[in-house]
Structure 1
Amino acid sequence: MFGVYRFILAVNVVIYHVLDVASIGPYAVYSFFVLSGFLMTMIMNESYGYSLDGFKRYALNRFLRLYPVYWCLLLLGICIILLIGNDVSGVFHTKMMLPNDIASAIANVTMIYPAFEPVTYPVRISPATWALSIEILFYVLIGLGISRTRMITSIWLFASICWVGGNMFQTGLFSTGYGNVLQAALPFSLGAWVYHYRKWVTSVVHKIGVPMIVCLYIGNIAIVVLCQVLITDKAWFVSLIGSWVNLGLSTLMTVLLFDQGARFFSRTVDRVLGDLSYPIYLFHWSGAALASWLITDDMSKGALVFTLGLFITVVISVLVNKYVNENIERIRAHIRQG
């Protein structure tokens, strides 16, 4: 039900990074966070439960979902850096380099970056994994019960709003924040809250209408992107407003697709594209760096690098899904069944 949506979000991140199209990457990441808060809360409440055995099965399933595919792509990323050179890779992305100490090596293997703002961690073979570091933290917290009931989740959401509001007051920036752990609590808690109140949110979706919500979601992104070109002096303000609009519309999109996603796409298409989203997100910097090394003289970006890089990334993603993820999925299905 969410496969096509996740695929589009992953491609938006690639567009943001390789074509330098403003704002759509952070918007996509926060949409991912809302979706994760919703889905993790749902599976804990409806599939695993909050017993010790349930938490163990949940944790093992999350581990198998994240790490085998990541480790394969990490090895390929290392090979690409060795091929093009550490310094050259660092030109393409300042943090895409091989670790030079044990601590950074462990951080890269585990995707757990010991920083309040993982996006600032100085050495990341797969640069986009900073967001996975945040995901993993909230996976654990949700598994431990931070979104177990309506009341607990509402308290979590309220605390998140207060934190973001206090940060806005302190900094003077009307922003949801981006890249740090506490700011990310807002989209996760919002997604979890929407799970508990999805009947009410569904009624809101019906009142607004599916076509209108989809148009508003796309239109918000389009307006923000156009403002970067047409009114550059005000673009920052439009982007900040758009980030809040995106957060609200992401909650509606999540419930909309949960309830009605099967109407729009076949199960096969949804599954295939959804399975591609994770490896595309993880590998796109490596694929684009290889493309730039092959066709440019200065490790620049641009349309050709984007096209070839995305092609390389999709091919690698298909292969990893076929030879790694499909086998892992059988194990995960067995774990879900208890």
Structure 2
Amino acid sequence: MGFLRTLLALSVVLDHLGGGNADHLVGGRLAVQLFYVISGFLISYVLTATDHYQGAVGKFYANRFLRLFPIYLAVAAMTLLAHAVSGGAFFRFYEALPFSAELFLILSNIFIMGQDWLMFFGIEHASLAFTGSFAHSEVPLYHGLLVPQAWTLGVEMSFYLVAPFVLGSPRRLLALLAASLALRGVLIATGIGLSDPWTYRFFPTELALFLIGSLSHQVLLPRYRTWTQKAKRLPELGTALLVAYCIAHFSVGINPTVRDGLAVLLFAALLPLAFLFQSRHRLDKAIGELSYPIYICHSLVIMFFSWLLDEVNVHQPMLFSALVITGCIGFSALLNGLIADPVERLRSRLRTDARGADDGAQAPAAGGRQRPAAAAQPLGSIRRVP
């Protein structure tokens, strides 16, 4: 699962590099939506299959805060410094905004929450207004974001807010899943859901992807645990299939919408095997720890190399892309060493059992006390999973 997450992060990097890079791996939009599925799986594991946060929702929120904010704020601060050094065009952009838009941007840059909402607003007649799309604006507001891709964290955080109250209840989970899918169907039928930002930035419809991942954990993981007792190499096979799909995605010659939908279902079906694979291979876990910092830092890295090697970008785009990817990986390792690793010690104190695995960083076999299978898998018990 770790290598898969890093491949998805690199898909977003390639997409933001533009040109022919956008058609490598799974592409930016699908990568984001597959991240939602993986997040739903992992958060379901944390909340329902471990006892870290039972009766301690506040600790869960604090843990997620420590997971997301330190690296984000460090990269945002460095990006702000880079804008100041590069001539100040970023600050002049703010000077042209009405106060309401300026305040919206400043708060969302600090707190992350709201960056996804920003995509539905614009400037009309010199005032901040709900326009339904960031494209319908006198000036594109997302230009005021320090870490533009962090809007997806706003969607993630919305899921974190509801997860403790939903994932332990099969009825609530299934009801919300049905409602989210129905809403997506209505928006597509009316034409609204066919265009950005409604396609993958609107939390009420993206919630279904998180919940599909949660279902994958609660329904399929118990079955795969049983099957792997007989088929020892099943986790390796499932993970290899997912990696192969990530590489060959754009070679699948069917309707892109159908292809993306099938990719989501494939990931949901095989994620438990990737999860079990990670429990067997420490290297996979180590590679996965690079995924979040790669995702957060890549715009800053692209900005740096564009300033430093503009001629290379124009005349040797493949070399430029290779330098950016290498830079993202190296910078991410540095961010982990200087920020994420020390913060991890604080996060461990918030868990009721520090030996357990949180948010997929460690799989069950790496240690940690779990609840009995029947209690840990509420939906599995409904379907009589052994």
Give TM-score, length-normalised by structure 1: 0.81
Name the structure 2 match of 1:186.
208
Name the structure 1 match of 2:294.
280
Q: Give the helix-richer structure, 1 or 2.
A: 1
Distance 1:109 1:328, change over 3 A: same
Task: Give yes or no for the alignment of 1:155 onto 2:175.
Answer: yes
Name the structure 1 match of 2:131.
none
- Structure 1 residues 60-209: aligned runs within 5 Å: 60-87=62-89, 101-113=102-114, 116=117, 118=119, 120=134, 122=142, 123-143=144-164, 145-171=165-191, 177-199=199-221, 202=224
Instruction: Please tell me whether the aligned partners of residues 213 and 268 of structure 2 are also in contact (alpha carbons under 8 angstroms).
Output: yes
State the SS of the aligned residue for 2:166.
coil
Name the structure 2 match of 1:34.
37
Name the structure 1 match of 2:60.
58
Question: What is the rounded CA distance, in whole Å, between the counterparts of 1:223 and 1:56 in structure 2?
Answer: 40
Pick the aligned partner of 2:349 from 321, 325, 334. Answer: 334
How many residue pairs are counted as aligned between the two chains? 314
Distance 1:118 1:212, change over 3 A: same
Distance 1:307 1:88, change over 3 A: farther
Amino acid at match of 2:79: G
Distance 1:286 1:218, change over 3 A: same
Amino acid at match of 2:146: I
> Once the 2 structures are TM-superposed, how far is the Cα of residue 217 of structure 1 from its aligned partner?
6.5
Name the structure 2 match of 1:47.
51
Instruction: Please tell me whether the aligned partners of residues 57 and 336 of structure 1 are also in contact (alpha carbons under 8 angstroms).
Output: yes
1:139-190 CA distance string (max 9 Å, x none): 11103x1222222211111112211222222229789922221221121111
1:312-337 CA distance string (max 9 Å, x none): 22222112111111111011111113
Name the structure 2 match of 1:230.
none
Name the structure 2 match of 1:294.
308
1:27-86 CA distance string (max 9 Å, x none): 1111110111111122112234452xx101101100100111111111111222223345
> Once the 2 structures are TM-superposed, how far is the Cα of residue 103 of structure 1 from its aligned partner?
2.7
State the SS of the aligned residue for 1:179.
coil
Question: What is the rounded CA distance, in whole Å, between the counterparts of 1:226 and 1:80 in structure 2?
Answer: 40
Instruction: Please tell me whether the aligned partners of residues 19 and 306 of structure 1 are also in contact (alpha carbons under 8 angstroms).
Output: no
> Once the 2 structures are TM-superposed, how far is the Cα of residue 299 of structure 1 from its aligned partner?
7.3
Instruction: Please tell me whether the aligned partners of residues 131 and 179 of structure 1 are also in contact (alpha carbons under 8 angstroms).
Output: yes
Name the structure 2 match of 1:96.
none
- Larger mean Cα displacement after TM superposition, 111-120 or 132-141: 111-120
Distance 1:100 1:170, change over 3 A: closer
> Once the 2 structures are TM-superposed, how far is the Cα of residue 198 of structure 1 from its aligned partner?
2.1
Question: What is the rounded CA distance, in whole Å, between the counterparts of 1:36 and 1:277 in structure 2?
Answer: 13
> Once the 2 structures are TM-superposed, how far is the Cα of residue 131 of structure 1 from its aligned partner?
0.5
Instruction: Please tell me whether the aligned partners of residues 118 and 131 of structure 1 are also in contact (alpha carbons under 8 angstroms).
Output: no
Amino acid at match of 1:141: V
Instruction: Please tell me whether the aligned partners of residues 19 and 303 of structure 1 are also in contact (alpha carbons under 8 angstroms).
Output: no
* % identical aligned pairs: 22
Unaligned runs of 5+ in 1: 91-98, 228-236
Question: What is the rounded CA distance, in whole Å, between the counterparts of 1:213 and 1:4 in structure 2?
Answer: 9
Unaligned runs of 5+ in 2: 93-99, 121-133, 135-140, 354-386
Question: What is the rounded CA distance, in whole Å, between the counterparts of 2:88 and 2:223 in structure 1?
Answer: 49
Distance 1:50 1:165, change over 3 A: farther
Distance 1:166 1:18, change over 3 A: same
Instruction: Please tell me whether the aligned partners of residues 288 and 309 of structure 1 are also in contact (alpha carbons under 8 angstroms).
Output: yes
State the SS of the aligned residue for 1:319.
helix
Distance 1:279 1:61, change over 3 A: same
> Once the 2 structures are TM-superposed, how far is the Cα of residue 212 of structure 1 from its aligned partner?
7.0
> Once the 2 structures are TM-superposed, how far is the Cα of residue 199 of structure 1 from its aligned partner?
4.5
Question: What is the rounded CA distance, in whole Å, between the counterparts of 1:259 and 1:165 in structure 2?
Answer: 34
Instruction: Please tell me whether the aligned partners of residues 116 and 155 of structure 2 are also in contact (alpha carbons under 8 angstroms).
Output: no
Question: What is the rounded CA distance, in whole Å, between the counterparts of 1:223 and 1:328 in structure 2?
Answer: 36
> Once the 2 structures are TM-superposed, how far is the Cα of residue 302 of structure 1 from its aligned partner?
3.0
Decide which structure has the larger Cα Rg and report it. Answer: 2
> Once the 2 structures are TM-superposed, how far is the Cα of residue 213 of structure 1 from its aligned partner?
7.5
Question: What is the rounded CA distance, in whole Å, between the counterparts of 1:49 and 1:279 in structure 2?
Answer: 25
Question: What is the rounded CA distance, in whole Å, between the counterparts of 2:288 and 2:75 in structure 1?
Answer: 17
Name the structure 2 match of 1:232.
none
Task: Give yes or no for the alignment of 1:325 onto 2:340.
Answer: yes
Question: What is the rounded CA distance, in whole Å, between the counterparts of 1:320 and 1:276 in structure 2?
Answer: 9
Instruction: Please tell me whether the aligned partners of residues 5 and 288 of structure 2 are also in contact (alpha carbons under 8 angstroms).
Output: yes
- Larger mean Cα displacement after TM superposition, 215-224 or 8-17: 215-224
